[in-house]
Structure formats: structure tokens, C-alpha cells
Chain A
Amino acid sequence: MATAYSPTNFVNPLSINTRSHDKPLFDPLKTTTSFLGSTHKLRPTSLQFNQPDTHRRSAVVAVSDVVKEKKVKSSSNLLITKEEGLELYEDMILGRAFEDMCAQMYYRGKMFGFVHLYNGQEAVSTGFIRLLKKEDSVVSTYRDHVHALSKGVPAREVMSELFGRTTGCCRGQGGSMHMFSKEHNLLGGFAFIGEGIPVATGAAFSSKYRREVLKEADCDHVTLAFFGDGTCNNGQFFECLNMAALWKLPIVFVVENNLWAIGMSHLRATSDPQIYKKGPAFGMPGVHVDGMDVLKVREVAQEAIGRARRGEGPTLVECETYRFRGHSLADPDELRDPDEKARYAARDPITALKKHLIESKLASEAELKAIEKKIEEVVEDAVEFADASPHPARSQLLENVFADPKGFGIGPDGRYRCEDPKFTEGTAHV
């Protein structure tokens, strides 16, 4: 099984950071062989998907010398301990079960608005975020519940937020697309395409600043910026790749390429659909990885996060994945080809990990069942907790508009500078 995971195809980008001119690794021909989204077909069909072996062998198309040398020496990164395996499994099950519960609660009228579920993409969140330290930052998108959970935000707080209750991680003021946790350094769900990437770049800049200006030598915090294939056609993506590479910021750009930007096929939207190739264009490694395989994602993540932590600069990682549900719960999902959906459903990352754990005797069926049971309880508890939590009071409305209430015209003594009743009524009561 382990061999199936070993990446075989490497590309050295126009290597600015790495210097081994004696080893010409750059072979542009190899990059094009295995990418799912072939430019020749708008709906990549049978040919590629019926050849899982081909796909697997070349799932990681990469990267710098650094990565290559490491992998040539050993493929040990793919090996996990039992504890790690169970942790990954638990995190993925939590993501899946939580999102399924969200769908239920949405249809039951417990949560409203746009709710974007993560089903199918769990390997990316788990593969990356579980490798982080608490001080590391995560910047997410509107599809952010599972990133929050992986980063350690309690399911109770996320569910309460979705229910719009005061116990939510943002006191009910954020909602599905705006999950934040200062404690866990979740810098946000950002609801517009691409707007989180500059914020992530800023967080990475802070790390560098703290290390180099404030001389906090131990500050090696890394920021992960998650976004989708649609975002990769947005200016902020390119602008931030440039800045991150320019200043060698400790950031990893994680593309969750699920092939669809709502109803726009990635292949119809993008002149060159191989997103990872845009990394080398900016002087950073670009890696393509099978986003349906948590172990492969984890391996690439380890390398990319390590690079960032060592101060070697950013990496662009394209995780090819698929969402099992519509864009949001408001999306009837009638456009995507049922065959395509079925193909990816067959590659469910959770099923794959389960198979791997059992086949490699890392865990027994019973142990995995126990995890599933435990998570079921966690999610049930989250719903009960959220449901029992209070709705925000009227007095909460104007809190948190300004960090400093002077923004409302309130003086240092806590009273309005203008005490005219017309002014004070109906504005801020902080």
C-alpha cells in the first residue's frame, strides 16, 4: 500500500530559492501527464479515472530540490503511527459528521443564510491543519466550518455560531462564513473570493516582522491560506503569491481545487488549469497533490509547512479534491455530471483512510467504530448545546462595532460627547 502513495513525478520550478545547477530536474513534459483536469476535456471522464494506478503514482507533481531529495531518501513521511492515524481519522469523521448535521439543522430551520459544506474535502483540512501548532494561523473561506474544527475550535462553539447564539465562537455575529477564533488563531472565514489571502499574507508578515524586527527568535509561526480553484483567477491570489515570494513569508497557499466554482467548471474558467504551475512562475515551489488522500496531503503539507517554518519561503499546494454536495445548501447541484460525482464519491477520502488503516493493521474496525460513535456524540452534544444557548440580547447589537467606543462619539468618561437625547437614542449603548 505504501508504494501506491509514493510520489514519482517531480518538477523543479525555475529554481530561484534552490541552487543545484548540476542537477537539471526541470522537465516540463512530465508535468502534464496526470492532471485530472485535462485541458482537452471539459468533463474529465473515464480515461483517467479508470486508471487509478496511473493517477496515484503521479499524484504529487512537484517541487523543489528540497522536497525531492527528501523523498528520494525515504518515503517514510507516508508512514504514520497508530496514534496519528486515529487522530486523522477522528478529525475527518468530525468534519464529515458535523457537516451532515449542519445540513439536517439547515433543513430543520435551525440555521439560515448560505451554508457551504465541506463534505469530500476533509483530507485537505485534516492533512494540513492537524500538523500546525496552536500559534500557527489559518485563514479560510466561506467553506470554513471544518477548517475551524481541525484547528481546534470546539464543535459546540461552531454549531452555536451557526445557530446564531451568544455562545458561538463569534457570539452569533459572524455566522457560517465568518468563523473566527483568536484563541486558536483562526483568522477568519472570509466570504468574498480571495479577500482572505492578503490577510493571511499579513499574518505571515507579522511572523517575519516579529522574528526580524522585534527579534523574537523563537517566532516561527506559519500561516495557511485556504482557497479554491475559482480564487486562483482572482488578482489577490497573484498579488499575494508575488509578495509572499518576494519577502519569503512563512505561508502556505493551499488551493482546494474541487473543480467547480459554483457552476463554473475550473476548465472553462482557467486558461491553464494546472494551478500549481503558477508557484514556480513566482519563484516558489508549486505542488500538486491528490486531495482525496489525506496521507499524501499530509506528506506535502509537512514539507511545505516545514519550509515556511525554516524561513525558506512560501509554497503553493494544489489539492485536487471534490465537494460531495452542492456549492451551498441553497444550490440544487443539478449541473454537475452524475458520473463525475459518482467517480469522486468512490474515492471518498474517509473510506480510503479507513481502508488503509485496516489493511496496514494500524487500527481495527472496532477502534474506528468507537471513534465514529464518539464523534456522533460530540456532534449531538454540539447541537444540544447550541439549541439550549441564548439568543443574543438587543443590547449586544452595537457591541463590537468599534474596539474603542470613541468611534461612536463616546468620550473617555464613557458618556457621549454630545449628550443631546436625539443623538444618543438609537445609536450606541455600549
Chain B
Amino acid sequence: MAAIFQGIGAATALSPTPSNFFDSKKLLLPSRRSLSGRKASFVVVRSDGSTNFGSGSRSQKAQKLITNAVATKPDSAASTSASKPGHELLLFEALREGLEEEMDRDPNVCVMGEDVGHYGGSYKVTRGLATKYGDLRVLDTPIAENSFTGMGIGAAMTGLRPIVEGMNMGFLLLAFNQISNNCGMLHYTSGGQFKIPIVIRGPGGVGRQLGAEHSQRLESYFQSIPGIQMVACSTPYNAKGLMKAAIRSDNPVILFEHVLLYNLKERIPDEEYICNLEEAEMVRPGEHVTILTYSRMRYHVMQAAKTLVNKGYDPEVIDIRSLKPFDLHTIGNSIKKTHRVLIVEECMRTGGIGASLTAAITENFHDYLDAPIVCLSSQDVPTPYAGTLEEWTVVQPAQIVTAVEQLCQ
């Protein structure tokens, strides 16, 4: 819960609108359950999605943070003209739009989780949906992760297509049994009789000084569960497309969102589209080295890529997006071209996505490699609270630059 205002705080930096703290018509969010005694006691979310955070010092922090996270999105940041096709929105709004379109399309699609209804979701992904669809389709559950996740599975077995929100991805550790045994295995143990078309989603990753428990990357824990698919979104465009694809999939899908990316802004098409759940996204084609990344680290990589380009390197950046199964088609083609692989992830060093990816690449494309795979991961520590320590926990752009330089020697 303490994590909630973090992402919204980050919006300040992105928001093009000037401060406008009090506006009674806008949604006012008192931090009633704020644990940390923050100075920021209110947040104003404007109907257009821009947000203002009620604390000067926090805003500065957010500013600093967001330059880190999204410094390299020149294409979307500059888009101001209304004449361009498509519409501009923030990532959390893109998720919401995808959700709403699917709920309009199929009455069996429903949402359940903590504070998804009246409160609108801890990161506002379900804002307004309860008003539109009613309390049963957008179900506020008690704080009982294992049970409401199991309930989602039971509902999925009997014909619904529930989206279960983990208020914070870390909370889903409390639902691990349901996710593993019933989500992952039940289709198999039932001999294929029952499908579990469920989507489990929520904010994860290392935020900004949220402490160890709210900064977890559960993909490493979930990846070995048989029978589930995992995707990580990183832009408003793919957030919406992946959300829609996940809802339509007959497989149980875990959709990873990142607390620091909710307020990314991008222009997305007006017409309907969905993304392929199993496909990686080519972010920047290049020749010298393949950099595989996903979620927030995509932006650290792109920041590093700028420096690298200035230094004369031509890196190919791929957002793998599908964490299970890996898109070895796209990844393999890239490796066959560059013969060098750098993996940059926020996941844990031991047993993380990078480790699995390394294994998969070694197994399948070893003959094409000119150098050992380099994998930059988070340190194997509980994410510290202190800002400096936290920064050293996750991979920073400078490390990426150094790694590429070494790899391409």
C-alpha cells in the first residue's frame, strides 16, 4: 500500500501541465493508509491523467527518478500536435483502455482484486470501471490474496475470464499456491478438461525507495511454474496490446507492469490492435551487439545506447516482452547477426530471467556466439531502502555502456 503513490508521484515529471493542486472536481486521493508518514498528503489526478503531487521535496525526487527511467523516449515526448493520428495517453491509462475495450467486447471479462473497484486500483488502472460495469464485474475483494486468486481460478474454470490484480506484485507471494498449483497445473491435471483463462497482473519491480517487500521481481519465482505464460509491458502501446491479448488467451497469463512506468506517455493508434504475447519487440536495430532487456530496464538500455552510439557502437536493442516462452525466433535472428549478447534485467542474478535466457541462448545459439554472454542483473540483496544503496542494486546505464565496450573489444 505504501507503494501506491510512488508511481503517481513520478507523473509530476512527465506531466506537461503546470501545478494545479486543488480542484474540487478532480479526484482527490487522501493517503489514508500511507504507512511512511510522508510529507505528501494528497495527490491530484486530473481527468486527463496528469497528476500533481502535493509535496515539493517529493516532486524533486520524482523528477530525478523519471529522467533515469524514461530519458530516452524522444519520439513520444515531443509529440504535441493534435493533428497526428492516434491519441496520447499514459501507460496506466493504456492498460485501462485495453481492459475497458475487452470488457465491452466480452461480458465474461471481469476484474477482481484489492481496491480495484471504488478506489479505482492502486495505480488507477481500473479507474471508473466499477461505475461503468458495476461492483460485481469490478469486484473489490477483501485482503486475502490466496483466496481471491483462487476464486479467480474457480471463476475461470466455470466460464468467466477474470483479471486478478495484485495491488503490488509482491503481494502475490501470498497467492503463490493458487498461482502455481491451480493456475499453472490444473489444466494439465484435469487432462485438459478445464481451461484457466485468467490474467494476473500488477505493479512490480524496484520503485523508488519502497523497501524490500514492495520492490520484488516475481518473474523469477513464477517462471518455472509449468502452464503459465508471462509477459512484461514497457510502453503504453504494448501495455494495451498485451493486456488485450492476455485477456483473450486461453492460457493463464501473468502480466508484469512496473511501478515506475505507469506514467509514461505515448501516442497510440485509435483503431483497435493487440500485441502478440509470444513476440519480442525490436526497439533499436543494430549490428554490433544484441542487448536483450524488458520492462523498466529498457529505458536504462536506451539511455546507454545513446552514449554507445556517440562512442561509435551500433547496438541492437530487443525488449523480449515475453518472459515465458522466450521469443527465440527474434532473439536467435539477432544473435546470428551480431554474435554478441548482453542481457540487462532488473531481475535477480540467481535464478532470474537472465539466467534462464542465458541458458536458452547457450543451448540453441552457442555456435553463433563470438563471446560469452554477459548478463547484468540486480544484486542478490533484499532491495535496500536507502536511495544510494537501491541505485546500486539495479543496473545503471553506465554499467551497460561498460559491458558493451568490453563485449565488443
B151: chain A residues at CB < 8 Å are 198-199, 201-202, 205, 240, 243
Binding stretch for chain A, among B83-91, B122-130, B321-329: B321-329
Confirm or deny: A17 has a beta carbon within 8 angstroms of a beta carbon on chain B. no
- Of B191, B192, B277, B278, chain A has the most CB atoms within 10 Å of the CB of B191
Instruction: Check if A201 sits within 8 Å of B191, measured CB to CB.
Output: no
Instruction: Check if A242 sits within 8 Å of B144, measured CB to CB.
Output: yes
A408: chain B residues at CB < 8 Å are 325
Confirm or deny: A168 has a beta carbon within 8 angstroms of a beta carbon on chain B. yes
Q: What are the interface flags for B219-253 relative to A under an 8 Å C-beta threshold, 1 for contact and 0 otherwise? A: 00000001111000000000000000000011100
Instruction: Check if B188 sits within 8 Å of A407, measured CB to CB.
Output: no
A168: chain B residues at CB < 8 Å are 191
- Of A201, A206, A240, chain B has the most CB atoms within 10 Å of the CB of A206
Instruction: Check if A235 sits within 8 Å of B146, measured CB to CB.
Output: yes
The distance in angstroms between the C-alpha atoms of A418 and B227, with both chains bound, is: 19
Instruction: Check if B150 sits within 8 Å of A213, measured CB to CB.
Output: no
Nearest chain-B residue to A180 (Cβ)?
B190
Confirm or deny: B148 has a beta carbon within 8 angstroms of a beta carbon on chain A. yes
Q: What are the interface flags for B199-217 relative to A under an 8 Å C-beta threshold, 1 for contact and 0 otherwise? A: 0000000000000000000
Please report which residues of chain A, range 390-415, place their CB below 8 angstroms from some CB of chain B when the two chains form the complex.
399-404, 406-409, 411
Nearest chain-A residue to B137 (Cβ)?
A213
Confirm or deny: B107 has a beta carbon within 8 angstroms of a beta carbon on chain A. yes
B141: chain A residues at CB < 8 Å are 243
Binding stretch for chain B, among A39-47, A110-118, A181-189: A181-189
Using known A-B contacts A239-B147, A417-B329, determine if residue A206 contacts B193 with beta carbons closer than 8 Å.
no
For A404, give its contact among B146, B148, B155, B249 (CB under 8 Å). Answer: B249
Confirm or deny: B55 has a beta carbon within 8 angstroms of a beta carbon on chain A. no
Confirm or deny: A423 has a beta carbon within 8 angstroms of a beta carbon on chain B. yes
The distance in angstroms between the C-alpha atoms of A178 and B159, with both chains bound, is: 20
Confirm or deny: A152 has a beta carbon within 8 angstroms of a beta carbon on chain B. no
The distance in angstroms between the C-alpha atoms of A242 and B144, with both chains bound, is: 10
The distance in angstroms between the C-alpha atoms of A195 and B150, with both chains bound, is: 7
Please report which residues of chain B, range 319-367, place their CB below 8 angstroms from some CB of chain A when the two chains form the complex.
324-329, 331-332, 360, 363-365
Using known A-B contacts A170-B190, A192-B177, A239-B146, determine if residue A209 contacts B154 with beta carbons closer than 8 Å.
no
Confirm or deny: B134 has a beta carbon within 8 angstroms of a beta carbon on chain A. yes
The distance in angstroms between the C-alpha atoms of A212 and B154, with both chains bound, is: 18
The distance in angstroms between the C-alpha atoms of A258 and B279, with both chains bound, is: 52
Confirm or deny: A34 has a beta carbon within 8 angstroms of a beta carbon on chain B. no
Confirm or deny: B392 has a beta carbon within 8 angstroms of a beta carbon on chain A. no
Instruction: Check if B150 sits within 8 Å of A199, measured CB to CB.
Output: yes
Q: How large is the interface on A (under 10, 10 to 19, 20 to 34, 35 or more residues)?
A: 35 or more
Instruction: Check if B136 sits within 8 Å of A203, measured CB to CB.
Output: no
Confirm or deny: A422 has a beta carbon within 8 angstroms of a beta carbon on chain B. yes
Using known A-B contacts A198-B146, A239-B144, A422-B364, determine if residue A205 contacts B327 with beta carbons closer than 8 Å.
no
Instruction: Check if B154 sits within 8 Å of A180, measured CB to CB.
Output: no
The distance in angstroms between the C-alpha atoms of A103 and B363, with both chains bound, is: 46
Instruction: Check if B192 sits within 8 Å of A403, measured CB to CB.
Output: yes
Nearest chain-A residue to B336 (Cβ)?
A420
Shortest beta-carbon distance from B170 to chain A in Å: 18
Q: What are the interface flags for B383-407 relative to A under an 8 Å C-beta threshold, 1 for contact and 0 otherwise? A: 0000000000000000000000000
Please report which residues of chain B, range 38-60, place their CB below 8 angstroms from some CB of chain A when the two chains form the complex.
none
Using known A-B contacts A195-B181, A199-B154, A239-B144, determine if residue A212 contacts B136 with beta carbons closer than 8 Å.
yes
The distance in angstroms between the C-alpha atoms of A400 and B196, with both chains bound, is: 12
Confirm or deny: B79 has a beta carbon within 8 angstroms of a beta carbon on chain A. no
Using known A-B contacts A178-B190, A180-B190, determine if residue A198 contacts B251 with beta carbons closer than 8 Å.
no
The distance in angstroms between the C-alpha atoms of A180 and B195, with both chains bound, is: 12
Using known A-B contacts A203-B158, A402-B187, determine if residue A417 contacts B193 with beta carbons closer than 8 Å.
no
Instruction: Check if B154 sits within 8 Å of A206, measured CB to CB.
Output: yes
Instruction: Check if B154 sits within 8 Å of A203, measured CB to CB.
Output: yes
Instruction: Check if A174 sits within 8 Å of B364, measured CB to CB.
Output: no
Instruction: Check if B110 sits within 8 Å of A209, measured CB to CB.
Output: yes
B278: chain A residues at CB < 8 Å are 406, 409, 411, 417
Instruction: Check if B134 sits within 8 Å of A203, measured CB to CB.
Output: no
For A209, give its contact among B155, B178, B182, B187 (CB under 8 Å). Answer: B155
Confirm or deny: A8 has a beta carbon within 8 angstroms of a beta carbon on chain B. no
Confirm or deny: A246 has a beta carbon within 8 angstroms of a beta carbon on chain B. yes
The distance in angstroms between the C-alpha atoms of A171 and B192, with both chains bound, is: 9
Shortest beta-carbon distance from A407 to chain B in Å: 5
Nearest chain-B residue to A204 (Cβ)?
B154
Instruction: Check if B364 sits within 8 Å of A418, measured CB to CB.
Output: yes
Please report which residues of chain A, range 207-228, place their CB below 8 angstroms from some CB of chain B when the two chains form the complex.
207-210, 212-214
A202: chain B residues at CB < 8 Å are 150-158
Confirm or deny: A9 has a beta carbon within 8 angstroms of a beta carbon on chain B. no
Confirm or deny: B142 has a beta carbon within 8 angstroms of a beta carbon on chain A. yes
A-B pairs with beta carbons under 8 Å apart, 9 shown:
A180-B191, A187-B157, A202-B157, A203-B157, A239-B144, A243-B148, A409-B329, A411-B278, A417-B278
The 6 closest A-B pairs by CB, nearest first: A202-B154, A198-B150, A170-B191, A418-B328, A180-B190, A171-B191
Q: Which residues of A contact B (CB under 8 A)?
A: 137, 139, 168-175, 178, 180-182, 187-188, 190-192, 195, 197-210, 212-214, 235-236, 239-240, 242-243, 246, 399-404, 406-409, 411, 416-420, 422-423
